[in-house]
């Protein structure tokens, strides 16, 4: 498993805030750095992969553990 360089807690935030916060955090990170984001908005399952595809970031992993979604994203 990839060890994240940064973490982002987006628990309790609703669409589009998890993606907006991820965009802001990723913009301040070095190319190739890894962000781990946790969220509990069910829409994030669709929004985060779409965001990565549109922006060129790589979604390394995602999982759902009892409604807590974890996304591992590598900055382009």
- What are the strands, taking DSSP E only, across 13-55? 34-39
* Catalytic status, residue 15: yes
Q: In a 10 Å sphere around its CB, with 0-12 CB exposed, 13-18 middle and 19+ buried, how is residue 53 labelled? A: exposed
Asked whether the beta carbons of 34 and 2 are under 8 A apart, the reply is yes
Task: Using the Cα atoms of residue 27, residue 56, residue 68 and residue 62 in order, give the sign of their dihedral.
Answer: negative
Catalytic-labelled residue, pool 13, 15, 17, 33: 15
- The residues carrying an active-site annotation are 15
């Amino acid at each position: 498993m990839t060890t994240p360089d940064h973490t982002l807690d987006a628990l309790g935030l609703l669409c589009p805030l998890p993606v907006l916060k991820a965009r802001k955090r990723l913009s301040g990170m070095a190319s190739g750095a890894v962000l781990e984001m946790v969220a509990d908005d069910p829409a994030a399952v669709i929004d985060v992969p779409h965001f990565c595809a549109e922006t060129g970031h790589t979604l390394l992993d995602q999982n759902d553990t009892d409604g807590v979604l974890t996304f591992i994203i590598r900055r382009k």
